[in-house]
């Protein structure tokens, strides 16, 4: 018995129900079989029908995924055909020019071929409009062949009505296109510009039929015969039109945009009206990346004005994707689109002026190449790609797409390895901690002093110290500890304004870290007592939060500037290097790595180390107290710390308090 459609089948011996379905022929190569046959693992018919429906839905999603992959492969093939065809036509043009004594390079040959195709396309399109448009097209064609020929072009019938789905639906759009062709194509400096707007109109309307001849010409040059129907035909026409619409001719002057942009803007007003009709009841839902991003924000209850770094990074990635690749429905995005986006992002300039940042992304890339500006680093490009990949995962979850086409696309050099920062050696530790910053009470702010003091002994991220609150310095089983926690609920400042919610970098970042004995000797608990008596909202309450609530951002710049002044100029060393220094000193003291990891908030190396909720505080305290960094004169630092605490207590009017 052959099952033509998905059906239930009961095994005669086991009495268990089975799912059976013939694999459609177009999917057999990928599936590797002619029939899907699965046991539903139940003898109950009602339960079997439920499981059958689930299995059928799963197989349909699988087939839809194969369709998406096939569409992506069609796009890749179309790219290759159009590139090969245009190159072949350009080489043929170069050979022809050489036969008459002209020496052209590939760029000039591509210019000539593109202009010729645009001219033919424009002539054919205007001929189809009838009336004066067709007559003008004929006249222009004959004058190009023989400038002295008499104007004997035949009279044409009145303007022909547009076909359904074609471009240039309105008479005003046609008149503007014809007027621009008459105005610009007779000027050698701007030839091709107005013809290009015709290709842009066809591309916006997705009027593939109008450019079938040009697509066949390019495909023939690539060595294939193109059938004027099907997905491959549509993909090739789209890419030919896109090349024609976006090509920039070498003979245009450098300031051509000053002349051409108004023309493109005028034409674009008609494209917008035509391509975005007023929504009607029953229209398909918005499936753009921007709409997907909005749904993701809504799902996570993020208000429109709520600043969240990851959300803003995602939005920037979406904007740049639409700028570089185009505003495509999510189901139409291919793996090649994501790879192209990745490669283009790698050429974007980094840390540029606002005037450059305001330009379209492709213009920024041109400026970066011309001015040799620094490009985005691999980690920055990786963030852009990761944002698109994550959004496409959301699209898969929402069942907008059956597969995430960005899976497996990586950026070389983007992954954090833990070796990007180096540790401070003994000489550098002495340079920092024996300097005026740590021995002169007037050399820097109290907050900067304490952040510098805490860093090497605890291995914490400097930003974690900056977001501590006074009540998070507590005593547990006789040992004083810092409790690093995230905010579970939204908090408010004293004036009632919303406070940025504290977040932790990883799950292991939530931890308790014992205070080092040298820090305690410096009177740190007395400083905490003053802050508690003042009811300060933060342990270091003079820090100003940056855009996303990070209280360390501005202080980080100040500290690193001071390190540079001290002579620490290696690019792989910054104040964050104190975390590496703690690990290095700990290994020198033979402290177990699992204890160092727990203090620093790093993930345990093995599954077994995750059991038991880490090392007990008293054991961790004994180990951390062994960190001493022998090149530093800590007595001078402790003396400075006590002087600062005494001065701060007097300034705040708080006396006689100790924890």
Measured distance CA(567)–CA(427) in Å, rounded: 11
Q: For residue 59, what pLDDT is reported? A: 84
Q: How confident is the model at residue 359 (pLDDT cuts 50, 70, 90)?
A: confident
Length of the chain (residues): 659
Measured distance CA(129)–CA(133) in Å, rounded: 6
Strands 35-39 and 17-22, bridge-based pairing: antiparallel
Residue-wise pLDDT tens digits, 137-195 = 666 655 554 545 444 444 444 555 666 556 776 777 777 877 777 777 777 777 878 78
Look at residue 384 and tell me whether its pLDDT is greater than 60: yes
Residue 480: phi and psi, rounded to 5, are -80, 135
* For range 640-658, the mean pLDDT: 86
What's the chain's average pLDDT? 82
Q: For residue 497, what pLDDT is reported? A: 64
Strands 498-499 and 491-492, bridge-based pairing: antiparallel
Residue 191: phi and psi, rounded to 5, are -60, 140
Look at residue 21 and tell me whether its pLDDT is greater than 80: yes
Residue 161: phi and psi, rounded to 5, are -70, 145
Q: For residue 658, what pLDDT is reported? A: 62
Q: What is the pTM of this model?
A: 0.51
Look at residue 284 and tell me whether its pLDDT is greater than 90: no
Measured distance CA(83)–CA(86) in Å, rounded: 5
Helices 212-221 and 231-246 pack at an angle, to 10 degrees, of 90
Q: Which of 357-366, 492-501, 602-611, 648-657 has the lowest mean pLDDT?
A: 602-611
Look at residue 498 and tell me whether its pLDDT is greater than 70: no
Q: Which of 170-179, 327-336, 388-397, 468-477 has the lowest mean pLDDT?
A: 170-179
Tokens matching residue 558:
């100040």
Three-class secondary structure of residue 349 per DSSP: strand
Measured distance CA(516)–CA(456) in Å, rounded: 10
Measured distance CA(18)–CA(42) in Å, rounded: 9
* For range 215-227, the mean pLDDT: 89
Residue 355: phi and psi, rounded to 5, are -65, -35
Residue-wise pLDDT tens digits, 602-625 = 876 554 454 445 789 999 999 999
Helix (H) or strand (E) holding 608: none
Q: For residue 589, what pLDDT is reported? A: 92
Q: How confident is the model at residue 25 (pLDDT cuts 50, 70, 90)?
A: confident
Give CA separation, 406 vs 334, 336, 342, 409, 505, in Å.
8, 9, 11, 6, 25
Angle of CA points 436, 539, 495, to nearest 5° = 125
Q: How confident is the model at residue 79 (pLDDT cuts 50, 70, 90)?
A: confident
Q: For residue 156, what pLDDT is reported? A: 46
102 or 658: which leads in pLDDT: 102
Residue-wise pLDDT tens digits, 533-590 = 999 999 998 888 877 677 888 888 899 999 999 999 888 888 889 989 999 999 999 9
Sheet-wide strand order for 17-22:
7-10, 17-22, 35-39
Q: How confident is the model at residue 277 (pLDDT cuts 50, 70, 90)?
A: very low
The shares of helix, strand and coil residues in the chain, as percent rounded to the nearest 5, are 55, 5, 40
Q: For residue 2, what pLDDT is reported? A: 43
Q: How confident is the model at residue 101 (pLDDT cuts 50, 70, 90)?
A: confident
Measured distance CA(495)–CA(492) in Å, rounded: 8
The DSSP output letter for 563 is: H
Q: For residue 572, what pLDDT is reported? A: 84
Q: For residue 436, what pLDDT is reported? A: 94
Contact 647/616 with Cβ under 8 angstroms?
A: no
Look at residue 475 and tell me whether its pLDDT is greater than 80: yes
Contacts of 74 (CB under 8 A, 6+ apart): 231, 232, 235
Q: For residue 198, what pLDDT is reported? A: 84
Tokens matching residue 408:
């497996």
Q: Which of 260-269, 459-468, 526-535, 632-641 has the lowest mean pLDDT?
A: 260-269
Helix (H) or strand (E) holding 492: strand 491-492
Q: How confident is the model at residue 36 (pLDDT cuts 50, 70, 90)?
A: confident
Residue of 366, 362, 379 whose CA lies nearest to 313: 379
* For range 194-202, the mean pLDDT: 83
């Amino acid at each position: 018995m052959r099952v033509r459609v998905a059906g239930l089948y009961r095994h005669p011996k086991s009495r268990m129900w089975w799912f059976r379905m013939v694999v459609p022929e177009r999917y057999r190569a990928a599936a590797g079989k002619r029939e899907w046959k699965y046991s539903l693992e139940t003898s109950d018919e009602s339960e079997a029908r439920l499981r059958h429906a689930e299995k059928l839905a799963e197989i349909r999603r699988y087939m839809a995924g194969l369709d998406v992959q096939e569409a992506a492969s069609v796009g890749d093939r179309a790219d290759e055909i159009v590139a090969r065809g245009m190159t072949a036509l350009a080489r043929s043009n170069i050979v022809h020019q050489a036969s008459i004594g002209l020496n052209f390079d590939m760029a000039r040959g591509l210019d000539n071929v593109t202009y010729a195709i645009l001219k033919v396309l424009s002539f054919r399109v205007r001929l189809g409009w009838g009336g004066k448009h067709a007559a003008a097209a004929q006249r222009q064609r004959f004058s190009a062949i023989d400038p002295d020929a008499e104007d004997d072009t035949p009279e044409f019938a009145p303007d022909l009505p547009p076909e359904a789905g074609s471009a240039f639906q309105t008479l005003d759009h046609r008149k503007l296109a014809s007027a621009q062709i008459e105005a610009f194509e007779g000027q050698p400096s701007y030839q091709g510009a107005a013809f290009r707007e015709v290709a842009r109109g066809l591309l916006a309307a997705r009027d593939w039929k109008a450019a079938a001849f040009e697509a066949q010409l390019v495909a023939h040059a690539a060595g294939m015969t193109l059938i004027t129907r099907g997905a491959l035909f549509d993909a090739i026409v789209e890419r030919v039109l896109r090349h024609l619409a976006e090509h920039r001719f070498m003979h245009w002057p450098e300031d051509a945009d000053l002349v051409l942009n108004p023309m493109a803007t005028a034409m674009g007003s008609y494209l917008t009206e035509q391509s975005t009709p007023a929504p009607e009841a029953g229209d398909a839902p918005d499936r753009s990346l921007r709409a997907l991003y909005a749904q993701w924000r809504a799902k996570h209850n993020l208000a429109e004005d709520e600043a969240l770094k990851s959300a803003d990074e995602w939005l920037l990635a979406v904007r740049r994707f639409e700028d570089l690749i185009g505003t495509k429905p999510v189901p139409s995005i291919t793996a090649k689109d994501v790879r192209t986006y990745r490669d283009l992002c790698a050429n974007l300039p980094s840390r540029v002026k606002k005037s450059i940042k305001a330009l379209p992304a492709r213009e920024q890339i041109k400026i970066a190449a011309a001015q040799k500006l620094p490009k985005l680093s691999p980690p920055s490009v990786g963030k852009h790609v990761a944002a698109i990949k994550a959004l496409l995962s959301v699209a898969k979850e929402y069942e907008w797409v059956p597969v995430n086409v960005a899976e497996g696309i990586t950026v070389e050099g983007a992954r954090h390895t833990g070796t990007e920062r180096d540790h401070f050696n003994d000489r550098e530790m002495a340079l920092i901690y024996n300097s005026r910053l740590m021995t002169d009470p007037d050399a820097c702010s109290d907050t900067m002093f304490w952040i510098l003091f805490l860093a090497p002994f605890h291995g914490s991220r400097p930003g974690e110290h900056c977001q501590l609150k006074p009540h998070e310095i507590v005593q547990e089983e006789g040992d004083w500890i810092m409790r690093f926690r995230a905010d579970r609920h939204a908090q408010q400042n004293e004036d009632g304004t919303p406070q940025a919610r504290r977040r932790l970098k990883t799950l292991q970042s939530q931890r308790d870290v014992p205070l080092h004995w040298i820090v305690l000797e410096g009177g740190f608990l007395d400083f905490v007592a003053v802050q508690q008596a003042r009811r300060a909202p933060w342990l270091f309450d003079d820090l100003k939060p940056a855009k996303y609530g990070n209280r360390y951002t501005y202080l980080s710049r100040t500290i690193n500037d001071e390190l540079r002044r001290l002579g620490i100029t290696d690019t792989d060393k910054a104040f964050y290097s104190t975390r590496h220094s703690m690990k290095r000193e700990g290994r020198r003291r033979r402290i177990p790595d699992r204890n160092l990891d727990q203090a620093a908030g790093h993930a345990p190396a093995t599954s077994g180390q995750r059991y038991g909720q880490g090392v007990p505080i008293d054991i961790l305290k004994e180990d951390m107290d062994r960190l001493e960094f022998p090149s530093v004169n800590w007595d001078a630092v402790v003396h400075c710390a006590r002087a600062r605490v005494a001065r701060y207590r007097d300034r705040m009017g708080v006396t006689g308090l100790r924890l």
